[in-house]
Every structure is written in C-alpha cells, then in structure tokens.
Amino acid sequence: MRLRLIGSFLLTLTLVTGCSMTHGDPRNPKQNPHPTERYEITATTDGPGPWDSVSAYVGYDVVTPQCTPEAKFLGVHALPRDVGRDVEMTRVGEKTWKGYFHRDFMLDEDYYGLGACHWDATSVTANFTVHGIRFNSGSRLDGFLRKGPQSNFFRKSFYETHLPTLNSIPGFSSINPQVVQQPDAFFSITVAVNEIAP
C-alpha cells in the first residue's frame, strides 16, 4: 500500500511539473541575477600552525514547503534539491579570514503552479585544510544570527599528525568533557556571520 501511495505521488508530481513550461525547473533552480542581502563570514582560529587553504560553504534550501506538492498520506513534500556555494575566504589577520555571500543568492520561482518557492541560506561552514584534511566549523544560519559566533574544538594532535585515512575531522563543543578537562590539547575554530547594511 505504501509503495502504491509513493508511486501515485511521484506520478502526480511528474504531471504537475510538466504541465506548464512557464514554471521554473526544480531540477535546475536559477540564481538571483540581482541579489542584495549581503552577509559577512568571519572565521578565526588559534590552530597550532599554518593552513594550506581556508574556504567557506553556504547551503541554500527552499524554506516554504507549501509551494510544492504534498503526499497527504505520507505527509512529505517533494522539495527542489538543495544548492551549495563555495565562498572564497581572504586572510585579514594572523588568525582571521573573511568572506562574503548573499542570502538571496537563489531566485524565488514557482515550480509547481502552487506559488513561488522561497529560497534561503540555511547553513554556513568554514573549512580549514592542512595535509589534505579538513577541519570544519559551522552551524545553521539562524543559529549564527540568534546566538552569535559559534566555535568547534579540535585535537591539536590531529593537526600535527598526518592521517591519510581521514579527509575531515569532527569537532567538539565547548562543553564536551574532553575539552573541559584538557583545554590545552585542543584548538578552536570560531565562525561569525553578520548582515552587512546596504
């Protein structure tokens, strides 16, 4: 029964998507040609040494599911695929990098004849890389805007040791027992996101 419902939902979605060429294509969402909502990413670290590269990544999602078809019995919406954008980070101090992105980077469009789908930046992550290993620190955008800067803590030994089997290192929060008990064994990456007034 559940498979029949899923099949029926997908058929309906296909028909709705293909019924009009005036709608946007959810498989190929467009970028906003005139974005205005500019934000600044600031990433700071007290890492034990230099970095091979520093970048950031911003994730975008449709945040208005009512603009998409819903499978009533399943309670799910077929949302357009999420979109990610790499952000160049420029070193502005011994331990600080900055980069910029537009919150309205994606174009709001009507994909299914149910009204315009609203896109929003939903996550921001700073990526510090050394020896081919990424140390990632990030959070949801609303968390940055409500709570301010967010920090992740990483073992210094992971920076100093080449670990060819890993390509990214998980971070710890400031209240993790290991960080609390052995603060000198860790370094932090702190990320802040702020809107830039027009």
> For the chain, what are the domain ranges?
35-195
144-179 residues labelled b (16+ CB within 10 A) or e (exposed): beeeeebbbbbbbebbeeeeeeeeebebbeeeeeeb
Angstrom distance (rounded) from CA 123 to CA 163: 27
pLDDT (tens place) for every residue of the chain, 198 residues total: 444 433 444 434 444 444 444 578 988 999 999 999 999 999 999 999 999 999 999 999 999 999 988 877 666 777 888 899 999 999 999 999 999 999 999 999 999 999 999 999 999 999 999 988 899 999 999 999 999 999 999 999 988 876 666 678 889 999 999 999 999 999 999 999 999 987
Give the pTM. 0.83
Question: Is the CB of residue 150 less than 8 Å from the CB of residue 179?
Answer: no
Question: Is the CB of residue 89 less than 8 Å from the CB of residue 41?
Answer: yes
Phi, psi of 185 (to 5 degrees): -85, -5
Angstrom distance (rounded) from CA 59 to CA 44: 20
- Residue appearing with tokens 């990320």: 191
- Cα dihedral value 170, 132, 60, 176, nearest 10: 10
